[in-house]
A and B are shown apart, each in its own frame.
Chain A
């Protein structure tokens, strides 16, 4: 999609559409492929919609190429058509003029990660699939900062990219029933960290000792949307020394 920049502080949106997600949610599609520039648009639209503080809207949720808006149909006028149509019209009204660009300070964050072995059980399989050795997988995973696109799956669980093209592997054919907390995993050009132990279908190549979520902090996430993550290899001994509790 094309993003024109009519003036310094405003993103003009030229190619987007609104789709229903069931009967209490809709999403604004701002692109079809995951990219840093689409992600910046997603974050700008998210910020702008959050600032509207509309009655009847209870959540605004950015993903890679979309922004979801969760709403309560009962809070919309009964005589003005479906809630979906009313909310879509409101969103069009505020997006058509463009939205303020969110300037990401882009904190670069060095994330410690212990690669391979029990910490990254899929490292060797990823190396085979990419036709490189495991050291090269680690080097490429750490080589460039990855932009934090979105959080989901569990609280504070980041998804960041783009990965080096050589590391392009799909999800595992069979999801694991239990992936340990802190697992660093890759799939489809994106890297993630499992904040909570849970089932999961991604290729686990490492584990971080960091805890990424605290309910008592504001915001509750250690990392922020738009941060640039640079993974730094550590040894198992360093992992043990740095291991943080997950309250």
Chain B
């Protein structure tokens, strides 16, 4: 079986997949990739199912090497990555030679990059998923971030010999890249984050609602995979509200009594008890997930129709890229 060896772990490199759905009724958080678009894109670029496990690299990346010649793709944040010191292209499939150090630098723009490998990372799934639950310490690689010396299983497709692999055998280069399919980019950043008004929207002061739509909010340094805390004008309720805890989802914007909103992210809990002023639309969560602490954000209200249209458009883009990637790799079309 193919293996990824970790020479240097980076700040926070964790395995994540499409998420641990199906266990929230036992209080198990979903986890999964913060930037779902980039994680899924990396997977389809190497011909994997979109929800396969990939490595989520935060701010400063690792150095790894593979036991076999391996097809990889790096997506998401703008990050320098080299094979044996030679820069690699990102957002496309690249065959890298076995035992060559693949070194990631700092994220220059965006907060998270994703490394997918052909076949997918394959430590044993826990409760149906390979996503890492850092807080409860299970899933991924022993429920924790990568450490130097780790060996992570990679599932190689049986007896596969891709055209890129043949080129690698005939070449002396450390890597051979495939073409980049059209539209294979990281999420757009800098635009307003679009939201649906939440169930308690009307319970907030008119000034708070106006502030949420028009003012700038800064991603606090206390933000993590569980939630983004936002600094900006305090958002006050018209009158105090003690709520029965109920469902929250990826992108739910809760406002605790202090008035500073929190956007619930990948490691959120399944249920929450604070007033919900908004839901960030799913299509804009990847952009939000790429916002580093200190990033200034603006929010813009949209309708449920827009949210659904944008989500489906994103799915369609991914399907188109997946088909093109498979064609470029010489994989049978699905």
Contact = CB atoms under 8 A, between A and B. Distances in A.
A191 interface: no
Interface in B1-44: 21-30
Given A20-B304, A46-B25, A60-B25, A153 B312 contact: no
B136 A64 contact: no
B260 interface: no
A70 B24 contact: yes
A22 B282 contact: yes
Nearest to B251: A22
Contact of A156 (B27, B244, B250): B27
A175 B30 CA distance: 23
B269 A152 contact: yes
A32 B311 CA distance: 32
A25 B304 contact: no
Interface residues of A, number: 54
Size category of the B interface is 35 or more
B333 interface: no
Given A21-B248, A220-B23, A215 B138 contact: yes
A188 interface: yes
Contacts of A64: 244-246
A33 interface: yes
Given A58-B22, A59-B21, A157-B27, A66 B247 contact: yes
A27 B136 CA distance: 26
Interface string A29-72: 10011100000000000100000000000111111111010100
Contact of B311 (A23, A46, A220): A23
Most B CB within 10 A of own CB, among A61, A63, A73, A153: A61
B312 A73 contact: yes
Interface string A149-184: 011111111110000000000110101000000000
5 contacts: A19-B199, A20-B304, A58-B21, A70-B21, A196-B136
Interface of B: 21-30, 126-127, 133, 135-136, 138, 196, 199, 242, 244-252, 256-257, 269-271, 273, 279-282, 304-305, 307-308, 311-312, 315
Given A61-B270, A63-B244, 14 more contacts: A20-B196, A22-B279, A23-B279, A25-B249, A60-B25, A64-B245, A66-B247, A68-B246, A82-B304, A82-B308, A152-B271, A158-B27, A221-B27, A225-B25
